[in-house]
Amino acid sequence: MGHQNLTVLTEFILVGVTRRPELQLPLFAAFLVIYLITVVGNMGLIVLTKADSHLQTPMYFFIRHLAFIDLGNSTVIYPKMLAGFVVDQNTISYYACATQMAFYILFIISELFILSAMAYDRYAAICNPLLYNVIMSQKLCYALVGIPYLYSTFLSLMVTSKIFLSTFCGSNIISHFYCDNTALIPLLCSNAREIELLIIIFSALNLISSLLVVLLSYMLILTAIFRMNSAEGRKKAFSTCGSHLTVVVVFYGTLLFMYLQPKSARSSDTDKMASMFYTLVIPMLNPFIYSLRNKEVKHAFNRVFRRPCKLLF
């Protein structure tokens, strides 16, 4: 493509999950099922936590936003990835790639800080139960959700604009199944090192700061639990934060595996596998984690779907 790459670039080619033809159809079917489960599960959580009066608490307010983020993240990536299994060459336009990257960054950063806000919510519920409704006021809940969205939007626009206002040269082939910022940096011939450093700094800042909030919250929670005299009280406290702790371990564990592994051990295949897990598999698992052992959600499901007409208005 030569000099044309320096002036006009209208599309990219996504390599996809695999280049092996015999795996295309089975993977298409598997990921289609995963996506449908993700949509139904997260939409179900959003509807339940909005429609049922018994779930109008701060915890379910955060769960609703987590479901929205998971639904958004998977919808940004899944459809184009699925298309790659049924076409000979999976191309994505310049502007569609920029849009996909912007929304992906927005959702993934938002999820980090929503999970840390949920950890603080669990701390308030267990360590200060009598003052819980005062501490977790409606104003604070909106702030704990609104600020991450605004911050994520700012970072998303900054990183995306820096990449797509830079000059591309060489190949237009993205060695990934979506427009990941780290996969696009090797295609740049200007500002590549500056943008890479910026991404590393903000990725580390976001991951460490949100993880510190989670760790501090759970240290205080564990301290409060071990001080409880009642075994029933300890059991109830553990069950209160069990679902969130499971989600945190899976999500942060995947991110830490991805970012802390040495460069010598990294490959495009391991990056794809890790990315697949936290962008596609985790959004499918979260609704099950928050509902399977949750009696309140099960009861809400029975109440809401026994009166479906009420949901239409």
Q: Is 173:15 a contact under the CB 8 Å cutoff?
A: yes
Annotate 27-62 with DSSP letters as a single string: HHHHHHHHHHHHHHHHHHHHHHHHH-GGG-SHHHHH
Annotate 65-128 with DSSP letters as a single string: HHHHHHHHHHHHHHHHHHHHTTSSS-EEEHHHHHHHHHHHHHHHHHHHHHHHHHHHHHHHHHH-
Q: What is the pLDDT of residues 45-96, one digit of tens each?
A: 998 888 877 788 899 999 999 999 999 999 999 999 998 888 878 899 999 9
- Answer left, alpha or beta for residue 179, where phi above 0 means left and psi between -120 and 50 means alpha: beta
Give the chain's mean pLDDT. Answer: 86
- pLDDT band (50, 70, 90) for residue 158: very high
- The mean pLDDT value for 182-211 works out to 91
Q: State what percent of residues in the chain have pLDDT above 70.
A: 89
Any domain includes 4: no
Any domain includes 5: no
Range of the domain at 260: 11-307
Q: How far is CA 127 from the centre of its chain?
A: 28
Instruction: Indicate the Cα dihedral angle 181, 35, 118, 108, nearest 10°.
Output: 10
Q: Is 44:287 a contact under the CB 8 Å cutoff?
A: yes
H or E segment and range at residue 279: none
Q: Is 51:297 a contact under the CB 8 Å cutoff?
A: no
Burial class (CB in 10 A: 0-12, 13-18, 19+), 139: exposed
- pLDDT band (50, 70, 90) for residue 311: very low
Q: In the prediction, which pLDDT does 303 show?
A: 66
Q: How far is CA 307 from the centre of its chain?
A: 32
pTM of the model: 0.89
Q: What is the pLDDT of residues 225-265, one digit of tens each?
A: 888 887 777 777 777 788 888 889 888 988 888 777 766 66
Any domain includes 290: yes
Per the structure, how many domains does the chain have? 1
Any domain includes 312: no
Any domain includes 313: no
Indicate which CATH number applies to the domain containing 297.
1.20.1070.10
Any domain includes 2: no
